[in-house]
Amino acid sequence: MLIPARPVYAEWEMTHRAVLWMDDLRASIAEGERFPAVRVLVMDAGPKIIDAATREGGMAQLPKRDQDVLQEILRLDHLDVIVPHSRILEQLGYHGPLGPAARANAKAPGGRLVADAITRQLEVAELVLTGIDEVIPA
């Protein structure tokens, strides 16, 4: 179970409530019963958030409020993948399946930049799937 978390103060409370709700639900399940693994997935992150989470000293570049929110999110069980902000994801409905869309844009005159952007999003998606595979017991 992935709980999307945008690293902004206005949405932090919703993320936190979702995590607490899942914890309460897990506590209500009988011992030994199956329950899905729950992880937070940082979504729609800008370059400063990504730098703060992945680079030594990057946190100091964020305003205090953003630092606090990101630190709280990273204290939760989370995937070690951050999904960057992308117009491709915002406009997913216009592109259709991303693999064929990347190939079509790569062939179209002037479509290389869109093809590259779609390909980067597919790479991020592959990293998310790898992170999920690491959480799920074999």
Q: Domain ranges for the chain, please list them.
A: 1-85, 87-138
Cα(49)–Cα(67) distance, integer angstroms: 9
The mean pLDDT of the chain is 89
Write the single-letter amino acid at 131: G
pLDDT at 138 over 70: no
Predicted local distance difference test score (pLDDT) of residue 96: 77
Assess contact for 52 and 67: CB atoms under 8 A. yes
Alpha-carbon distance 84 to 42, whole Å?
A: 8
Residue 51 pLDDT > 70, yes or no?
A: yes
Please state the length of the chain.
138
Range name among 10-19, 74-83, 85-94 with the lowest pLDDT average: 85-94
Q: What pLDDT digit, counting tens, does each position of 92-112 carry?
A: 777 778 889 889 999 999 999
* Structure-token pair, residue 137: 């017991």
Distances (CA, A) of 135 to 41, 45, 80, 129: 13, 22, 11, 10
